[in-house]
Chains A and B, each alone.
Chain A
């Protein structure tokens, strides 16, 4: 099967080169058969890469350990779903995954884009295929997933135990889907520049693509936090590690872009800024791959260090120079149609929001690169860690949270004093009341107080927006409250979906500020001994060490330490935390031991137990106990965010939308039936 895979890669390369050459030469203009050929070659490349992927999967599932990649990432005793997901467990497979998904997206973009953008499509085909060709080249010339070994090992090395987690099956593909789909909006932006169609057309064409990739990135990042929390055992979910930062950077600039395109659509401003943002976002996604794959920055994620990173650096440089040169040559055509009228306008709020997003992205980038920069400039390596990122980003993040509440309240163009008063009284009072309640309850952490009161303010804004929308519909159409609510959201999905996303963001902030109150304690306990731990919500946990049991299972030897818990004197069950030594099918240890955290999650707080080891083979155990407040809300916020984003991009909705689908009609009918009259 590797021969087929290898052949398919070469086929993809040749077809891709044809597509890129014709597209960029411009020969297709006025020659419909050539433009059709450019578009068809996108599908052909996609077909070839699908064949390559299927042949890699065949190798994995058949345990063909003669393939280097299969031997390096799987073993006979690995559960089959991990054998399947080992496709993206290593670098070479990830490259193939990236290439095949990108060409699937590129084909979808060709198929799904309305005909009125037909003149952009050959350009789009050229740009997307150029990126695919780059990935195929990296595989063929530096990291070939189909490489064979000179011998066939009896068993593979197995998958890293930390990757043997459901989150790890979904987290990398989600992030990749986010990174990869950024290429589509980027390709449309370049196509608009190349064809000089610089109206807002390209922005309409990519609106859903940007939302899709923004959502995938957000889900990927949140899943990554969840994975780090349950699997790495240090007690938190975000450590400002370079690899984490690399996933955050394009998400930040993408979020800025999602806001600033609204100004371009409504007011014809910010054309250059938007193009710059989307190009920057694409480059940041490539940059992220470069720093994670090259090992230039020390990270706990250190993947194999290889020259693959430098392919990415080269690509980054070429893509950056070409796209910014292109942007420069079209600069005069991108003049704004109007000027800013007032500082008290939604445009201004959005502009400040954009500056803050880009400022945060810049500070994260700066902190991530600082070891390299300081070594270059001053000769000594200086590193900055979580204290730096928190110090810089907490205040900026809070300003941003405030703008989340202010933006929707302020009118376009110019807000009047009466308008400001009418809009702000409710939300601001909510924020002030929140602050007063928290102070009365005894909370004292400054930033947490700020975050929670601003969250109250933003919640006030969102509730007020929904309330006024419903009230207006009830007055105008005489609808019942639930019907008015349903129709309000269904007819203005973009706006109210956006508010749901804002709600998710404030839930994230609430969860983040919970960590300011976390408690931690280490203890060495003999069986029967116990310790007490007080939580920030005033609960008292009593933790009694029960003992350590050892057993063998599927692909590991497990030492499990069990703690019985009482909460405020009432029994709250047993929690087990494990040390696992993974072994291959000959019982030889494969990786360093790994920890399986014991977590009891609740709406208020998580009890988080790490079994750090036993004392010299006895049943005396070393534990670390954490109480982490409000963590559950982070995962819940992830669901709210996904719901809001899907609502925003759900087809139909606006006044220009086609007739509603059947399902939607049925939905409305049930609402009418259920509505109390």
Chain B
């Protein structure tokens, strides 16, 4: 076999390998990113979604809904996109940006329980203006 052929074979292996890793990675680790409305539609059309499928929900925290337990390591709150609401329970430390201020946007990763509560495995909070100053109230 000529050097050029051998090289093309090696190149094909690398390109194929990269493609395979990407495809497999997306399949194995990709999670849905939904709004509460989309989550409701998903669970209505596909009942196996509940408890079985991990997803992320991007929504706002309903003001005043945050309840922290005594040792401050479990936190319950309600998220909403203005149409649908979902209660969330999370055990772990929330980031600094997760405050009781109005209008904080969160991304909650987890699964939906049969009781309609999202069991979060991760909570990211984004104060829409992290690298900008807080707007005047």
Interface residues, chain A, with chain B CB atoms under 8 Å away: 72-73, 89-90, 157-158, 160, 162-163, 233-234, 298, 300-304, 339-343, 345, 348, 351-352, 355-356, 359-360, 362-363, 366-367, 370-371, 374, 380-385, 387-388, 391-392, 395-396, 522, 524, 579, 590-595, 610, 612-616, 620, 622, 624
- Name the residue of chain B whose CB is nearest to the CB of A73: B133
- The verdict on A163 contacting B131 (CB below 8 Å), with A371-B33, A396-B21 known, is yes
**Residue among B22, B56, B97, B131 with max Cβ neighbours from chain A (10 Å):** B131
Q: Is the CB of A302 within 8 A of B4?
A: no
- Name the residue of chain B whose CB is nearest to the CB of A153: B136
A72: chain B residues within 8 A (beta carbon): 132-133
20 more A-B contacts (CB under 8 A) besides A366-B22, A382-B32, A383-B31?
Answer: A73-B133, A90-B131, A304-B131, A339-B4, A340-B3, A340-B7, A343-B6, A348-B7, A362-B22, A367-B25, A380-B34, A380-B38, A381-B34, A384-B29, A385-B29, A387-B28, A392-B18, A522-B73, A522-B92, A595-B96
- Name the residue of chain A whose CB is nearest to the CB of B56: A383
Instruction: Find B133's partner among A160, A595, A614 (CB 8 Å cutoff).
Output: A160
A591: chain B residues within 8 A (beta carbon): 133-134
A366: chain B residues within 8 A (beta carbon): 22
B44: chain A residues within 8 A (beta carbon): none
- Name the residue of chain A whose CB is nearest to the CB of B130: A302
Instruction: Find B70's partner among A158, A234, A381, A615 (CB 8 Å cutoff).
Output: A615
Q: Is the CB of B30 within 8 A of A370?
A: yes
Cα–Cα, bound, A631→B73 (Å): 28
Q: Is the CB of A157 within 8 A of B134?
A: yes
Q: Is the CB of B132 within 8 A of A90?
A: yes
Interface set, chain B 81-122, CB cutoff 8 A to A = 92-93, 95-97, 99, 101, 107
B132: chain A residues within 8 A (beta carbon): 72, 90, 160, 303-304
B131: chain A residues within 8 A (beta carbon): 89-90, 160, 163, 301-304
- Name the residue of chain B whose CB is nearest to the CB of A351: B7
Count residues on chain B whose CB falls below 8 Å from chain A CBs. 47
Q: Is the CB of B29 within 8 A of A359?
A: no
Cα–Cα, bound, A363→B130 (Å): 28
What are the 8 tightest A-B residue pairs by CB atom distance, in nearest-first order?
A157-B133, A359-B18, A381-B33, A343-B6, A387-B29, A392-B21, A388-B29, A524-B71
Instruction: Find A355's partner among B14, B124, B128 (CB 8 Å cutoff).
Output: B14
The reply on B40 being an interface residue by CB < 8 A is no
- The verdict on A594 contacting B3 (CB below 8 Å), with A352-B14, A356-B14 known, is no
A391: chain B residues within 8 A (beta carbon): 21, 24-25, 28-29
Q: Is the CB of A300 within 8 A of B26?
A: no
What sequence of 0s and 1s flags, for each residue 11-26 of chain B, a beta carbon within 8 Å of any chain A beta carbon? 1001101100110111
A367: chain B residues within 8 A (beta carbon): 22, 25
- The verdict on A340 contacting B22 (CB below 8 Å), with A303-B132, A591-B133, A595-B96 known, is no
Q: Is the CB of B93 within 8 A of A522?
A: yes
16 interchain pairs (CB within 8 A)?
A300-B124, A302-B128, A304-B131, A340-B4, A343-B7, A355-B11, A359-B15, A362-B22, A374-B30, A384-B25, A384-B31, A385-B31, A388-B26, A392-B25, A395-B17, A615-B70
The reply on B63 being an interface residue by CB < 8 A is no
Interface set, chain B 35-93, CB cutoff 8 A to A = 38, 56, 58, 70-73, 92-93
B18 to chain A, nearest CB (A): 4
Q: Is the CB of B11 within 8 A of A590?
A: no
- Name the residue of chain A whose CB is nearest to the CB of B137: A588
Cα–Cα, bound, A388→B28 (Å): 8
Cα–Cα, bound, A486→B3 (Å): 39
B124: chain A residues within 8 A (beta carbon): 300
Q: Is the CB of A363 within 8 A of B22?
A: yes
Cα–Cα, bound, A381→B55 (Å): 10
Q: Is the CB of A624 within 8 A of B14?
A: no
A339 to chain B, nearest CB (A): 6
A641 to chain B, nearest CB (A): 25
Instruction: Find A383's partner among B30, B72, B101, B133 (CB 8 Å cutoff).
Output: B30
Cα–Cα, bound, A391→B14 (Å): 15
